[in-house]
Amino acid sequence: MGVKAEPWQKAEIAGPKKALLMLKPEVVVAMVKRAKRPILIVGHLAAEDYSDDVKMIDYAIRMSKTAGIPVVATAHTVSEFVKRDFHSAACMTAMDIGNRLTDSEWKGLDGGGSYDLALFMGLPYYMEFVILAGLKSFSANLKTISLDRFYNPHATWSFPNLSVKDWDESFEIIVNKLGGK
Amino acid sequence: MHVKIDELKTNVGLIKNLELSIGRIVEEKWAEPMGPTPFPEITTLREWDMKLLQRYKPFYLPFCDVCCLCTFGKCDLTGDKRGACGLNMAAQSSRIVLLACCIGAATHTAHARHLVEHLIEKYGGNSPLDVGGLNIDIEAPVTRLVCGIKPETLEDLEDALDYCEKQVTHLLSATHTGQEGSNLDFESKVLHAGMVDQVGMEIADLAQISVLGFPKADPEAPLTDLGWGVADVTKPVILVIGHNVPSSVGIIDYLKEKGMYNAVEVVGICCTAIDMTRYSPSMAKIVGPISWQLRFIRSGLPDLIVVDEQCIRADSLVEAQKIKAPVIASSSKNCLGLKNRTESPSEEIISDMVEGKVPGVLILDPEKVGEVAVETVMAVAPKRKKFKVIPEIEEIIKAAQECTQCNECMRACPNNMPIPEAMKAAAKGDLNPLAEILESCVGCARCDSACPNDFPLHSFMVKAGEKSLREEKFKMRVGRGAIQDVEIREVGGPIVLGEIPGIVALVGCANYPRGGKEVAEIAEEFAKRRFIVVSSGCAAMSMAMVKDEEGKTLYEKYPGHFEAGSIINVGSCVSNPHIAGAAIKIASIFAKRKLRANYEEIADYVLNRVGAVGLAWGAMSQKAASIASGFWRLGVPVIVGPHGSKYRRMLLGRKDIEKDWYVYDARTGDKVYAGPAPEHLFTTAETKEEAMVLIAKFCMRPNDTTKGRAIKLTHYVDLHKRLYGVMPGDIHLFVRNKADIPITMKNEILKILEERGWKEMRIPDPTLLPRLIRKRKGE
């Protein structure tokens, strides 16, 4: 069965270069494993959306711990990380981290060099849409992944529009398989 | 020059009673010598712009990868590609921002032109400008700064308007295919458009304040009624929508003239409503901000709708027809396809509308609008019987039961509101989720358009929220206009020294991510912290739409004086230059910097010394873009809400790059590291919490005294800890010496400074302009 690569907000048309669909969560695992310097950017919706029991931010923490991916928490999301006893998230606005990722000279949060893969979750859809567009055009060596539940066409890879259940299951697979890194 | 000749014999014959008017004699009325940049052309201030742009570099966020502005295209500009014309994505992105700012500047300038011409025709070109009597000497700070003129009468404003129109034309021409090719030069032009926009807006407000008797820099301007529930709907109701007030004035004047004070209810939406209450706070009422249009029209409460210009829904006529309310369009910029009946006898027009022969008319004469609107509404109201298109609860439940949960409504909603879930609840008879959505709804009705079943979902929400809508009764302080010179004298020192922690301007439209209450929350947070909070436009209304436990709104709780801990409404969109003007007057009145055509120096002063920040939490329009760019060039940073990311370009500093933050010490000429203050010129905040932390941070300036910096740091650290749960990671960049550290936070901050290898810094007399260095080394 085919899956349509259709932006969640229907008018958000990207242009000729659209995100590749990640029909299997293993794509994320493979990309993270292949990346030399991945980074995970987590917006405030990661702590709000989702089911009552599990929130995206919990997956973010598990991904970070499992695969050693550094985390940037945008807006006030850092407080949610701290509440969960996760203290290593850097705090930056979404625009600041987006802007730094376009700078090939930027040495990263730890001074270890520029990043080659940026994974996004929890930003408002339209904000992530334009930030990913900026990175697509102005960050030649960076690949981007949208981990949100909705197809975001300016990313390099994106999930299609998923049900909460499918999305949840995808994250379980990602976190479990990243453990093998 | 005016020449009158009673009788003139010429070769062609005898000419009698010849009168000639040629231009105007310009009399020098301002003793201050002309500054360096009168009536600056588009490249005059380019050097200043490049200084800003070197520090605050553009971060581009294109909507789309293609350019489709000419027939070469569409051209794919992704990555390092160039279009057929040679333009790349960076330049194209700047070009889009310039187009937006040209639209904004043209709109305000055209608004001003219309107002000035109308008022000259009605009151005469020699009508004096008076925005604050003896309390205001600098009546037009922006115009004086930019143009180098001191306007005294209505007709004096035309010189500045001519200038604005010329500049907008030049700027717009730069966006043509094959013109400007550099992104930074596009950005410089964006800043120019913003500056011109400030002049246009100032002229509009100056003219209407002076001639129409609006409050003149009055800190105690009266409170007025605001909210859906304030309208007495037992009367015929005229609803006015837009920004340009003459037609509303025409209505009120006609009611006054005919002694019909109590016969008709006049209510408004958006900035026309604000300006109408400045004209007559007792007769006019405000329904709400721009997003209240559809809900109020569909409720059937208005019996007649008068639209002027700007921010009016393009389907206002269609919506009005649904409730059988006639429409009067009153602006040449918004004719709605209606027949121009300006020259028709009033009786004929009224009869045509009352009998339903026409859905509406175009009338380009404000006084005639007044007469026709009042007489028509008196006849139409009894016939309409408040006919509405809001469905009954049973209809909503039935529709909800038929809803297929296709999600199209949610995918069309700008805020991704869970409308399908609310419909699920509605199917079971629970309308509360729909009512909750209405509280955050921006009123766009894209959900209606998207629904494959054609369910009027916005109307469903309005019905669900009907009870609370009816209870909307608030008090808002009428727009006071300018800030008095004496107020500037009193607060200039504490602001520049940092002891008043900042001026926060909450402005702009109502495209909020989670409703307007967030604006009120932000305003109150900073008023309590003894910042000066100023507002205008829809933000000024949203701030009024929250009550405390005692039933008081912010305007009832906080003073309207320009002082620490105040909340001020300056007025409508075109009142924004009073905020810029306050910053300019701090430089001019308090610091005695030369004002006349001295833009660069004043902007340098504001950037380095005046801790002012703009927040446009619901910015939506091109006008908001140009308003913001006027503040950027003047050195005032602007934050927008998350939807503002769709302006597609930020101007961001890099606090991690030390070399970007050096200024000259005007005392010695040394280049001194001054820290990232302000860190950005234009950025997006994702949440209200982030906005509040950024506001506190962006108020820091290189010139702060140690006492002032300690106060500002207290607010920044306190908000950061409360809202983010952690200490700010960049505190070491803002502490220049140990006296900057707030006493109550000393140990905590000293520990961080030690970890970061902090070294003491010098506090300069900061400037970016080498010409302002008083003494160089070796002199």
CA distance to partner chain A, nearest, from residue B184 (Å): 16
A144 touching B (Cβ < 8 Å): no
- Confidence band of B498 (pLDDT split at 50, 70, 90): confident
CATH of B228-384, one of 2.60.120.10, 2.120.10.30, 1.10.8.10, 3.40.50.2030: 3.40.50.2030
> Is B79 within 8 Å of A90 when comparing Cβ atoms?
no
Report, as an integer, the average pLDDT of B250-256. 97
Pull the structure tokens for residue B696. 């506190």
pLDDT at B18: 62
Which CATH superfamily is A38-178 part of? TPP-binding domain (3.40.50.1220)
The position carrying tokens 């939506």 is B620
Per-residue pLDDT at A179 = 84
Considering chain A, what is the average pLDDT of its residues?
A: 93
d(CA B287, CA B545): 11
Q: Looking at residue B29, what is its pLDDT?
A: 76
Give A32-60 pLDDT, tens digit per residue: 999 999 999 999 999 986 666 678 999 99
Q: Give B337→chain A minimum CA distance, Å.
A: 27
What is the rounded distance in angstroms from the CA atom of residue B167 to the CA atom of residue B198? Answer: 13
Q: Is the Cβ pair B646, A126 closer than 8 Å? A: yes
Burial of B364 (0-12, 13-18, 19+ CB in 10 A): middle
What is B479-771's CATH number, 1.10.3720.10, 3.40.50.2030, 3.30.360.10, 2.40.340.10?
Answer: 3.40.50.2030
Q: What is the pLDDT, as a whole number, of residue B377? A: 98
Amino acid at B289: P
Amino acid present at B478: V
Residue contact B66–A15, C-beta within 8 A: yes
Do B724 and A102 make contact, defined as CB atoms within 8 angstroms?
A: no
- Chain B residues within an 8 Å CB radius of A15: 64-66, 76, 78
Q: Is the pLDDT of residue B15 over 90?
A: no
Cβ contacts of A76 on chain B, cutoff 8 Å: 687, 689-690, 693, 723-725
For residue B494, give the nearest of B566, B568, B599, B580 by alpha carbon. B566
pLDDT at A54: 72
pLDDT tens readout for residues B427-439: 999 999 999 999 9
Contacting residues of B for A134, CB less than 8 Å apart: 59-62
At A4, the pLDDT band (50, 70, 90 cuts) reads confident
Helix/strand/coil (H/E/C) assignment for every residue in chain A: CCCCCCCCCCCCCCCCCCCEECCCCHHHHHHHHHCCCEEEEECHHHHCCCCCCCCHHHHHHHHHHHHCCCEEECCCHHHHHHHCCCCCCEECCHHHHHHHHCCCCCCCCCCCCCCCEEEEECCCHHHHHHHHHHHHHHCCCCEEEECCCCCCCCCCEECCCCCHHHHHHHHHHHHHHHCCC
Element at B394 (helix H, strand E): helix B393-402
B690 phi/psi in degrees, rounded to 5 = -65, -40
| CA separation for the pair B273, B243 (Å, rounded) | 8
Closest CA to B105 of B576, B419, B442: B576
The answer to whether A20 faces chain B, any CB pair under 8 Å, is no
pLDDT at A51: 63
Q: Residue ranges of the alpha helices (H) in B610-732? A: 622-633, 688-698, 706-724
Q: Binning pLDDT at 50, 70 and 90, where does residue B16 land?
A: low
The residue in chain A having the minimum alpha-carbon distance to the alpha carbon of residue B514 is A124
Mean pLDDT score, B735-755? 96
Best to test chain A binding among B687, B697, B720, B722 (most A CBs inside 10 Å): B687
CA-based end-to-end distance of chain B: 52
- Whether B535 shows a pLDDT value over 70: the answer reads yes
Contact of B606 with B583, CB cutoff 8 Å = yes
B118 φ, ψ to 5°?
-65, -45
- pLDDT for B599: 98
Token digits of residue B132: 């604050």
Q: Closest approach of chain B CAs to the CA of A174, in angstroms?
A: 26
Closest residue in chain A to residue B93, using alpha carbons only: A134
B497-519 average pLDDT score: 94
Q: How confident is the model at residue B739 (pLDDT cuts 50, 70, 90)?
A: very high
Q: Which residues of B touch A83 (CB under 8 A)?
A: 725
Is there a shared CATH topology between the B228-384 domain and the B479-771 domain?
yes
Mean pLDDT, rounded, of chain B: 95
pLDDT tens digit sequence for A91-142: 999 999 999 999 999 999 999 999 999 999 999 999 999 999 999 999 999 9
CB contact under 8 A, B64 and A13: yes
Which pLDDT band, with edges at 50, 70 and 90, does B399 fall under? very high
With CA atoms as reference, report the closest residue to B434 among B423, B449, B448, B445: B423
Mean pLDDT confidence for B632-655: 98
DSSP B543: H
**Do residue A15 and residue B642 have CB atoms under 8 angstroms apart?**
no
B420-476 pLDDT, tens digit per residue, is 999 999 999 999 999 999 999 999 999 999 999 999 999 999 999 999 999 999 999
pLDDT of B598 higher than 90: yes
- Residue B354 near residue B383 (C-beta atoms within 8 A): yes
Cβ-defined contacts of B747-753 (< 8 Å, 24+) = B749/B713, B749/B717, B752/B727
- Whether A160 has its CB under 8 Å from any CB of chain B: the answer is no
Domain residue ranges of chain B, discontinuous segments joined by +: 46-212, 228-384, 393-455, 479-771
What does DSSP say about strands B474-477 and B223-226: parallel, antiparallel, or unpaired?
Answer: antiparallel
Compute the distance between CA of residue A46 and CA of residue B399 in angstroms, rounded to an integer: 33
Tell whether the model's pLDDT for residue B507 goes beyond 50: yes
Residues of B in contact with A93 (CB under 8 A): 683-686, 690, 694
| Chain A residues touching B645 at Cβ < 8 A | 95, 126-127, 130-131
Chain A residues 27-66 with a CB less than 8 Å from chain B: 43-44
- Give residues with Cβ within 8 angstroms of B675, minimum separation 6: B661, B700, B702, B733, B734, B736, B761
- Chain A: give the shortest CA distance to residue B81, in Å: 9
* Structural domain B46-212, CATH architecture: Orthogonal Bundle (1.10)
Residue A68 burial (CB < 10 Å; 0-12/13-18/19+)? exposed
DSSP helix/strand/coil, B361: strand
Looking at the predicted complex, does its ipTM rise above 0.90? yes
Q: Does A90 touch chain B (CB under 8 A)?
A: yes
Q: What is the mean pLDDT of residues B38-45?
A: 98
Tens digit of each residue's pLDDT (9 = 90 or more) over B339-377:
999 999 999 999 999 999 999 999 999 999 999 999 999
Return the closest-CA partner of residue B663 out of B105, B118, B52, B185. B52
Q: CA dihedral in degrees (B180, B650, B106, B42; nearest 10)?
A: -40
- What is the pLDDT confidence band of residue B19, given thresholds at 50, 70 and 90? low
Q: Look up tokens 């390099």; give the residue.
A: A156
Q: Which of B392-396, B494-498, B573-577 has the lowest mean pLDDT?
A: B494-498
User: Which one of A17, A76, A131 has the shortest CB-CB distance to B690?
Assistant: A76
CA–CA separation, B353 vs B361, rounded Å?
8
Report how many Cβ contacts below 8 Å link chain A to chain B. 135
Chain A residue closest in CA terms to B410: A9
Query: What distance in Å separates residue B413's CA from the closest CA in chain A?
Result: 8
Strands B566-571 and B532-536: parallel
Q: Which of A100, A124, A137 sits opposite B642 (nearest CB)?
A: A124
The Cβ of residue B44 has, within 10 Å, a number of other Cβ atoms equal to 16
Residue B21 has pLDDT above 60, yes or no: no
Q: Do A90 and B729 touch (CB under 8 A)?
A: yes
Q: Which residue of A has its CA nearest to B653?
A: A96
Return d(Cα B270, Cα B21) in angstroms, integer: 40
Does B643 sit within 8 Å of A78, measured CB to CB? Answer: no
Q: Contacts of residue B725 in chain A, CB cutoff 8 Å?
A: 76, 78-79, 82-83
What average pLDDT score do residues B722-726 get? 98
Smallest Cα distance from B682 to chain A, Å: 10
Whether A143 and chain B come into contact, CB under 8 Å, resolves to: no
- Contact (CB<8Å) B64/A14: yes
pLDDT higher than threshold 60 for residue B22? no
Between A79, A103, A134, which is nearest B61 by CB? Answer: A134
B726 contacts A78? CB cut-off 8 A:
yes
Residue A1: predicted pLDDT: 46
The continuous run of DSSP H or E covering B462 comes out as helix B457-464
CB B200 within 8 A of CB B228: no
3-state secondary structure of B59: strand
Contact A127 B414 (CB under 8 A): no
CB B243 within 8 A of CB B270: yes
Residues 6+ apart with CB under 8 A from B13: none
CB neighbourhood size of B549 (10 A): 5
